[in-house]
Every structure is written in C-alpha cells, then in structure tokens.
Homo-oligomer: A and B are copies of this chain.
C-alpha cells in the first residue's frame, strides 16, 4: 500500500535503511507474527533476514520503542509490547496497521473516534475560523468537485478538507488527531473506491459543512459533520463486506503499488 503518499510527511524516512527495518518489524508485530514474545535475537535477524548492521537495527528498534511497539530490557531481551501499549494514534503506527491488519473491528473503532471528535472539531472551527481557514477549506472542496471521484487530486482534496477543519479549530493537541482521522479516511476511500454514488452523495454534505462553518454556526456544523461521518462509516462497511467476499480484491488493495 502506498496510501501514505497523501498523508502529511511521515517523520521517519522510508528510504533509509533503518526505516525499512523499522517498518518490517512493525508490520510483523502488528500483524501478530511476533505477538508479545521475544524478538528475533539480534544476531539471527542480522544474518538471517537481510544483512543489516547492528547500528541500523538498533535505531529501528529505538523508533519502535518510541512508538510503544516494543520494550527492550537489558538482560531479558527486546520483546514486542502488548497492544494496549501501542501508540495507535501515531501516523506511522496507523500506516503500518493498514499494511498489516485491516480488520473490521479496527476500522469501526477508528470511525467511532471520528464520530466523537470530528463534530466537536467542526463546532470549534465554526466558532474560530478565520478567512484564511475558509479559503483553505474551499480550495479543498473544489479539488473534490473538479476532479473525477477517487482520483488522486480528489482524494487529496477530501483529506485536505478534513485537515483544514482541524486546523481551523486552533487547538494543537486536537490537531494531532487529524492524522488519525486522515488515515481512517484514506483507508475508507481505498475501500469505497468505485462507489461513485456514495461519493456523489457525500459532496453536498461536505458543502453544507463548509456553509455552516462560514456562518459560524457551530451546532449546525457539528450536526452535519456527525451525519457525514455516519454515512461514511456505513458505505465503508458495506464496501468492506463486499471486499471480504472477494479475497482477490483484498490482495489487490494490500499490494497496490
């Protein structure tokens, strides 16, 4: 999956060697291949999987440590951490999740998060938005309407639309949730791809949210955002169920260049 392309630039460079190692280990952990047991011994991994120096390996482990995926203890070894320790809202962890384990429960949970957070954010945005915020949201919306559904610029616009609303909320900690929402959105757009009707239905919803924000009507913006999220969840789940009947398509989704 190269969905990541659309998201905000991830801090950890996938070109570099340690980034690749980190990703490989992360996916192995998240997918359950490693599951809370001791990691492959340093030496073994070095020699067996791919020839990589201890330096690169250790830096990869440090990254995973920082994101809560592993716990390194001096004598007992470096073990995969239990899931409740993962930093599930981290952009990279989410991206790795989607490469490893796109199960329905996780998507439901993420949508639940969206359903709780995004309406409140929309309310704040309506109360605090500046002219610049409006312009940014409008530009994103135009990108959605002026391009074919599910085309790259259109998807980019959809993501930018939601991100711009987060930005307009003027709340830094809240904005950190934008990356989680965007990751959810990306995934759902990949799943829904081809359902042009669902996309067309969502366009006026987006527009109406913008209008409410322009009017500084926080309550209305929140209500409309709630509707949008719920609709999105429903169409996404419908697509998931369709996809789950076609393992071929799942494979295609997971390995799209």
**Is the Cβ of A65 less than 8 Å from the Cβ of B68?**
no
Contact with B along A49-73 (1 / 0, CB 8 A): 0000001001100110111100110
Measuring CB to CB, which residues of chain A are less than 8 angstroms from any residue of chain B? 8, 11-13, 18, 55, 58-59, 62-63, 65-68, 71-72, 81, 83-90, 92, 106, 109-110, 112-113, 116-117, 120-121, 124, 171-177, 180
B11 near A88 with CB under 8 A, answer no
Chain B min CB distance to A59 (Å): 5
Given that A89-B173, A117-B117 are contacting pairs, would A12 and B110 also be in contact in the complex, using a CB cutoff of 8 Å? no
**Chain B residues within an 8 Å CB radius of A110:** 173
Can you tell how many copies of this chain the complex includes?
2
Q: How far is the CB of A16 from chain B (nearest CB, A)?
A: 8
A71 to B63, CA, bound (A): 13
Given the interface contacts A113-B171, A171-B109, does A11 sit within 8 Å of B176 by beta carbon? no
Docked-complex contact B88 and A89, CB < 8 angstroms: no
B62 touches A106 (CB 8 A): no
Given the known inter-chain contacts A68-B11, A81-B11, A116-B116, please indicate yes or no for A109 contacting B174, CB distance below 8 A. Answer: yes
B63 near A176 with CB under 8 A, answer no
B66 touches A172 (CB 8 A): no
A20 to chain B, nearest CB (A): 14
Specify which chain B residues have a CB less than 8 angstroms from the CB of A109 in the assembled complex: 171-174
User: Is the pair B88, A172 in contact by a Cβ cutoff of 8 Å?
Assistant: yes
Q: Does more than half of chain A's interface fall in helix, strand or loop, or is it mixed? A: helix
Q: A62 is contacted by which of B66, B68, B81, B171 (Cβ under 8 Å)?
A: B66
A125 to chain B, nearest CB (A): 13
CB of A223, distance to nearest CB on chain B (Å):
15
Supply 19 A–B pairs (Cβ within 8 Å), ascending by A. Answer: A8-B85, A11-B65, A11-B71, A12-B66, A13-B72, A62-B63, A63-B65, A63-B66, A84-B172, A87-B90, A88-B172, A89-B89, A109-B172, A109-B173, A112-B124, A112-B171, A112-B174, A116-B116, A116-B174
